Chain A
Amino acid sequence: MSTYLDISQISIEFPTKTGPFKALDKVDLKIARGEFISLIGHSGCGKSTVLNIVAGLYEATEGAVILESKEVNAPGPDRAVVFQHHSLFPWLTVFENVEIAVKQVFKGKKSKAEMRQWVDYNLALVHMSHASHKLPAEISGGMKQRVGIARALAMEPKVLLMDEPFGALDALTRAHLQDALMEIQSELNNTVILITHDVDEAVLLSDRIVMMTNGPAAKVGEILNIDLPRPRDRLALADNPDYNHYRAAVLTFLHQKQAKKPASPPQLSSAEPLTEVKKAVGA
């Protein structure tokens, strides 16, 4: 396997009132082109921190992120992020929310008409063409998340980073979006890092599941290869012994090997609210 994205021995310390807080300790992960990776672990272990470092929003204290043999340490559209809370600009329409990214990324490379087409194409990809003139406040949570994904895809990123993109959605909407994501993935074959609390989601979508140990000083605990044939169908998988074996392996890791003392297991289908205040470094 040739390495496309190399997360190389990254550690990070946050300055806090009670001294430095070491959130990650030498997290190391090599990802191939077109691979779909899920990051799973208990709340507060440092999943978002890993993602933010890859995105360039945080700066690692030690180690480096290497993409296509080049070190990256500032944010850029080659590593598009889909945030948990959609993060659409409320004053822009659905179309404009995607357009603002397209205009910036393809400045001088696409004509005005081509840019419009490209925006439309990406909205069609997530089945949101019908709402392109609406404001975010006028569409549902699931639809907003679709637009967030369209905006990220429209940047033609080398790596797509998703931080619990479906965490705030109900189970049914979430299933729809997972299917949509698999469909898009089979077409575009993006390299994806997805953070999730949902074991089923991780097994269904991933090529590999990366399980992180509890913080502080979290590191990669185990990596599980998911050798299920694609396209995957959630109904057919329900009785698939391999599928259930993978599921059990992840659950065992989370609930036995990394069990939290005051038992607060990650749920199977609904995410926990974020409690920590995230501060972007140097924002």
Chain B
Amino acid sequence: MFKQNTLHYLSVAGFAWLVPLIKLASWENPREQAQEIVRLIGLPVIAILVFLAIWSTAASRIDTSLGTFPGPTAVVSAAQGLYQEHVVEREKAVAFYERQNKRNEEKLARNPDAEIKIRDYTGKPTYFDQIITSLITVFTGFLIASIIAVPIGITCGLSPLLNTAITPIIQILKPVSPLAWLPLVTMVVSAVYVSDDPLLSKSFINSAITVTLCCMWPTLINTAVGVANIDKDLINVGRVIQLGWFTRVTKIAIPAALPMIFTGLRISLGIGWMVLIAAEMLAQNPGLGKFVWDEFQNGSSESLARIMVAVITIGFVGFILDSFMHTLHKIIAHDEA
């Protein structure tokens, strides 16, 4: 029973390829499992190997002003380099805090009333810090977008009049590129968000808002369509029972539209992630995008390989985010997505 549940959750979570491995481990139909393993794991592995081979031969033939284009091996060593830098930086931080504590203790020992200062370590952010920053930013932007888009979408879905009224606005705003929003957002945030000791940095807010502006549309449109297309009989049941407005929204409209809402959210998060990298690059906001830009400006012989590491990271994180939303959808919504 426990195994069944685990297997079910694995396939729901998009790890279907793990299922035959686990079944094989418990010696369940070993022949069949072996075939499954070849299909689910063997084929993708072969495809990746072929891709790496093509990449490495092609790369060695491309000469740029920064040396030859990095092949897989160069990228792996660049990744190791980034990890080393991260470790070194962390050690420095630990050492810094130890020194500071010691200094403060000595100070207090000499004079118990002494005023002690605790400073944060301000080393340069490592590659992993950049990833975390990007993730926090994209989720902030995405969250704001969802909080705005879902209620508006539901209202539009419930009211055909409102929907007709604002559809043109949505259609025009939807295709606007983040690069066009960014200068406006930056100027508005500088003008509006003035504080001596800001809790959140301006650059963070700029990126998050740009993400919001670009990624709210799919959620809004999908939610509206989902709510508008609820089975008429179900709506009639609600009318016959004389459900109040609130119950009708929470017990009928939202659950019925949940699959569509999740489809929208999933698309939104994907767009948000793409937009974020562009915004960080252009606006020099911390995160993976800025990392790419800095390496590009840096122009050392290592740069291209490090940018390739970032490219792969961005793709990988995007994939994880998408699987995450897909899993959430399967767990929460009542359809066979």
Binding site for B on A (CB under 8 A): 55-57, 75-77, 79-81, 83, 85, 87, 89-92, 100-101, 104-105, 155, 278-280, 283
Contacts and interface: CB of A to CB of B under 8 A. Distances in A.
B34 interface: no
Contact of A283 (B239, B247, B256): B239
B243 A104 contact: yes
Interface of B: 231-237, 239-244, 247, 251-252, 255-256, 258, 334
A56 B239 CA distance: 9
B252 A81 contact: no
A76 B233 CA distance: 15
A283 B236 contact: yes
A89 B255 contact: yes
A81 B242 CA distance: 12
23 contacts: A75-B239, A75-B240, A76-B240, A80-B240, A81-B236, A83-B233, A83-B236, A85-B233, A87-B231, A87-B237, A89-B237, A89-B252, A89-B256, A100-B241, A100-B243, A104-B241, A104-B242, A278-B232, A279-B232, A280-B236, A283-B232, A283-B235, A283-B239
Main secondary structure on A side of the interface with B: loop
A81 B234 CA distance: 11
B239 A91 contact: no
Contacts of B240: 55, 57, 75-77, 79-81
Contact of B236 (A76, A87, A91, A104): A87
A157 to B, nearest CB: 9
B243 to A, nearest CB: 6
B251 A77 contact: no
A280 B240 CA distance: 12
B242 A76 contact: yes
Nearest to A161: B240
Nearest to A52: B236
A242 B233 CA distance: 38
Main secondary structure on B side of the interface with A: helix
Contacts of B239: 56-57, 75, 280, 283
Nearest to A279: B232
A105 B255 CA distance: 22
Contacts of A278: 232
A77 B234 CA distance: 15
Given A89-B251, A89-B252, A90-B334, A101 B241 contact: yes
B241 A105 contact: yes
B232 A104 contact: no
Given A77-B240, A87-B237, A280-B239, 9 more contacts: A57-B236, A75-B240, A75-B242, A80-B240, A83-B233, A87-B233, A89-B256, A100-B241, A279-B232
Contacts of B234: 87, 89
Nearest to A152: B240
Contacts of B235: 280, 283
A77 B242 contact: yes
A92 B255 CA distance: 9
Contacts of A92: 251
Nearest to A55: B240
B244 to A, nearest CB: 8
Contacts of B244: 104
A56 to B, nearest CB: 8
Nearest to B235: A283
A155 B235 CA distance: 17
B192 to A, nearest CB: 41
A179 B334 CA distance: 33
